[in-house]
């Protein structure tokens, strides 16, 4: 049996070696901790959630927790949750949970990256580490990195928005996010490139509100963008997603989700679900962990158009729109479309 510490993140834009695409690492890649999943051999199963954001945000942060809880229940494990962990407290929070004899530590790659050095400290000796990865997280023997390419999902998100923009005759979109960081800049640029696949003169207004979870700042940024005539709003946010989207709904703007499937949501409503749900990624890793097959020292890279996630879907698309979106996604999966090249060409 095993104890698991989980942590959510808001970024997923890294590569590292060796890379793994598919459900499991190739034979010989990395190492499986002795006794996995009961790495520390204490016979207990406790799942702990360590998140930098609101774990009741109806979005990215919560999805990670919900999937972990469901998996834990299926195994008879116990779940301990802690959300909104201060960045400055990341290292101490990880050490504290290691003191509770955790077997697997999963941690956010950006906000809580300062916790990762604990993986080499004596207090965390008998632990494995799962890390949703970001570009500034180095691969080490103690850590399994899980990553995808935001150029893929964000390019397709922009393409999906472009399909709806064509239908409405819209050419101006808004992108509201948190701090101006590498991964938020990449996401904004790729989203713009995706729109321009279909609408060459499309423009994007990007606002860095400074916080993923501050609803007041998100509403202020959304209102400012609406005053500039945007017909689309992408709230690339965490806990502030619903506040921004509800305001956009009041003006019937096209809206997209930041990571999860919310096509069934009625308050607020969304037109496009952009799916890079960390809970789905982590559920797959937990399945491997439970089977004693989760390897450290490798990077698991999720491929759009190949794996079930990431992907993008229109909530109420026409048959023609859905077919065009599916063909675009398939083109990326078959490597007929190079997202990085498209972003470089169209995202300027």
C-alpha 60/C-alpha 315 separation (Å) is: 18
Question: Comparing C-alpha atoms, which of 102, 98, 103, 1 is closest to residue 43?
Answer: 1
Paired residues of 259 in beta bridges: 275
C-alpha 141/C-alpha 215 separation (Å) is 39
**pLDDT tens per residue across span 145-192:** 888 899 999 999 999 999 999 999 999 999 999 999 888 999 999 999
Q: Is the pLDDT of residue 341 over 80?
A: yes
Per residue in 76-122, pLDDT (tens digit) is 887 777 788 898 998 999 898 888 888 888 876 567 888 889 999 99
325 vs 276 pLDDT, higher one? 325
DSSP 203-246: EEEEEE-S-SS-HHHHHHHHHHHHHTT-SEEEEE-STTHHHHHH
Taking residues 312-336, report their average pLDDT. 98
Most confident of 12-16, 17-21, 134-138, 151-155: 151-155
229 to 44, 145, 196: CA distances (angstroms): 56, 41, 18
Written as one string, the DSSP assignment of 296-340 is: BS-EEEE-BTTBSSSEEEESS--HHHHHHHHHHHHHHHTTSS-HH
Higher pLDDT, 47 or 36: 36
Using N-to-C axis directions, what is the helix angle for 182-196 and 150-168, rounded to 10°?
40
Q: Which two tokens stand for residue 291?
A: 């089977």
pLDDT for position 213:
87
| This prediction's pTM | 0.79
Does residue 204 carry a pLDDT above 50?
Answer: yes
Q: Report the pLDDT value the prediction gives residue 134, as an integer from 0 to 100.
A: 61
Residue 347 pLDDT level (bands cut at 50, 70, 90): confident
Residue 37 preceded by cis peptide, ω within 30 = yes
pLDDT at 128: 87
Q: What is the pLDDT of residue 324?
A: 98
pLDDT band at 3 (very low <50, low <70, confident <90, very high): very low
Contact 30, 186 (CB under 8 A): no
The per-residue pLDDT of the chain, averaged, comes to 87
pLDDT of residue 28: 59
State how far the Cα of 133 lies from the Cα of 121, in Å rounded to an integer: 20
């Amino acid at each position: 049996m095993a104890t698991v510490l989980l942590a959510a993140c808001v970024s997923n834009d890294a590569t590292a070696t060796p890379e793994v695409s598919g459900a499991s690492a190739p034979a010989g890649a990395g190492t499986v901790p002795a006794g996995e999943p009961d790495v520390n051999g204490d016979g207990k199963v406790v799942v702990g959630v360590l998140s930098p954001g609101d774990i009741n945000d109806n979005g990215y942060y919560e999805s990670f927790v919900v999937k972990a809880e469901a998996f834990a229940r299926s195994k008879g494990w116990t779940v301990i949750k802690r959300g909104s962990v201060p960045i400055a407290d990341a290292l101490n929070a990880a050490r504290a949970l290691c003191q509770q004899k955790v077997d697997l530590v999963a941690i956010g790659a950006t906000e809580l990256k300062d916790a990762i050095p604990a993986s080499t400290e004596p207090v965390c000796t008998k632990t494995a580490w799962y890390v949703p990865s970001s570009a500034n997280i180095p691969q080490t023997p103690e850590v399994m990195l899980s990553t995808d390419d935001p150029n893929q999902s964000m390019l397709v998100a922009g393409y999906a928005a472009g399909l709806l923009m064509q239908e409405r005759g819209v050419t101006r979109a808004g992108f509201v996010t948190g701090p101006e960081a590498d991964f938020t800049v990449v996401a904004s640029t790729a989203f713009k490139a995706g729109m321009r696949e279909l609408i060459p003169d499309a423009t994007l207004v990007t606002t860095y509100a400074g916080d993923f979870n501050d609803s007041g700042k998100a509403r202020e940024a959304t209102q400012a963008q609406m005053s500039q005539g945007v017909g689309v709003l992408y709230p690339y946010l965490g806990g502030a997603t619903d506040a921004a989207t509800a305001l956009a709904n009041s003006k019937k703007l096209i809206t997209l989700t930041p990571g999860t499937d919310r096509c069934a949501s009625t308050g607020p409503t969304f037109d496009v679900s952009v799916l890079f749900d960390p809970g789905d990624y982590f559920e797959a890793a937990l399945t491997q962990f439970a089977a004693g097959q989760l390897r450290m020292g490798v990077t698991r890279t999720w491929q759009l158009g190949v794996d079930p996630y990431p992907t993008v879907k229109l909530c109420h698309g026409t048959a023609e729109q859905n077919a065009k979106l599916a063909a675009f996604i398939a083109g990326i999966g078959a490597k007929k479309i190079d997202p990085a090249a498209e972003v470089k060409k169209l995202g300027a």
